[in-house]
Amino acid sequence: MERLKRVVVWVCVIISVILVEYVNALSPKPTQPVLVAQVHGQNYGWANKDRGGTVTVGTTGKSLRLEAIRVWVEGRGIGVVYQTHLAGIGWVTATGDGKMSGTTGQGRRLEAIAFNFTGSHAGSAYDIQYRAHVAGIGWQGWRSGGEVAGTTGKSRAIEALQIRVIERKTPDLGSKLADGIRRVDYYIDSSATQFVNRINGAVHNWMYTGWDNPLYMERLYHNQGSDIDIYSVPYVFPNRPNVVGVTGFYDNQNRQIINYRNPNSRHDYSIIWMSSAHQNMEYFDAAIKHELGHAFGMDHSKNLWSIMYENQSMQVRSVQKVDSDKLIDLYGWDW
């Protein structure tokens, strides 16, 4: 009887395994996003749509400018956002998911563009790459999510674009906090008392981005054992008049780590110096979030929509999903 029971149990196990495999075989597998793009160009108006994993729109060898573009994604949980730089206007507000960016009927050339994926699967599996064919230059190199393709300030038209979907890479990473980010203790020095609310607001923005990440921060009222110390200085940084904040990295012997752009490096704490000489408080708020990103181990980004964007004239003022994803790239789910 006991032997019969064992046989029945094993038969049930085998049937369960077969059923699971069968259900998995029937379940739809995530597929690579499919891009659809359409451009409006000089003399030819709206061109036919191109669709695929890689799309090419516009013309080469005809000296015909692009004037407007629409792009969308056929894929589960993924959208696309784009921002264009137009002759006589400059950067216009970002749009996406099939909406037009640019102009028609104005003879206005499209000079630069940046793309990024959005949505629940964006960043976790796929990146978007693109390159521009520019008048007088030809094809530029490939750019990836948020980087600028084309030119600004040179009066050169984009004549064609290639856009493609690639498996995600994880650039823009630097030295990691040795103790991880499950709990990050920060200290605000008395020199930065006037900025306490702004600093706490930046911390709150990083902790509650709207997207899951493993970061938790708590304020200390002394710098014994703190992970991030924040100070304010009353002067403009020498030779860096447009810089609002600077971050330094240190080991447990209080030695500064010079090669902080190494993802294999570990720092025990960091010090952020913020310049109170800058009067633009909206920019100050973005800069402290930017410097906190460095303290967590994030390098500058070429992504226009990242709080870690390398140019001081940041396009965004709050932490974005791409930034939250970088924390996961660095630390995993360290709960």
Q: To the nearest 10°, report the CA torsion of 60, 63, 69, 75.
A: 0
List every span in the chain annotated with CATH 3.40.390.10. 176-331
Euclidean distance between CA atoms 255 and 265, whole angstroms: 13
Contacts of 6 (CB under 8 A, 6+ apart): none
**186 half-sphere exposure, CB direction, 13 A CA radius:** 25
Task: Quote the pTM value.
Answer: 0.60
Contact between 223 and 187 under an 8 Å Cβ cutoff? The reply is: yes
Q: What pLDDT sits at residue 21? A: 38
Q: What pLDDT sits at residue 122? A: 55
Euclidean distance between CA atoms 84 and 327, whole angstroms: 28
Euclidean distance between CA atoms 252 and 269, whole angstroms: 8
Q: What pLDDT sits at residue 4? A: 44
Q: What pLDDT sits at residue 177? A: 87
Mean pLDDT by groups of 10 residues along the chain of 335 residues: 43 40 39 88 96 95 97 83 95 93 97 84 71 95 85 96 80 78 94 95 90 88 93 83 87 83 83 86 88 91 82 74 84 67
Contact between 288 and 246 under an 8 Å Cβ cutoff? The reply is: no
Contacts of 1 (CB under 8 A, 6+ apart): none
Other Cβ atoms closer than 10 A to 259: 10
Give the CATH number of domain 176-331: 3.40.390.10
Contacts of 22 (CB under 8 A, 6+ apart): none
Euclidean distance between CA atoms 270 and 233, whole angstroms: 16
Euclidean distance between CA atoms 266 and 268, whole angstroms: 7
Q: What pLDDT sits at residue 69? A: 98
Residue listed under structure tokens 């693109």: 130
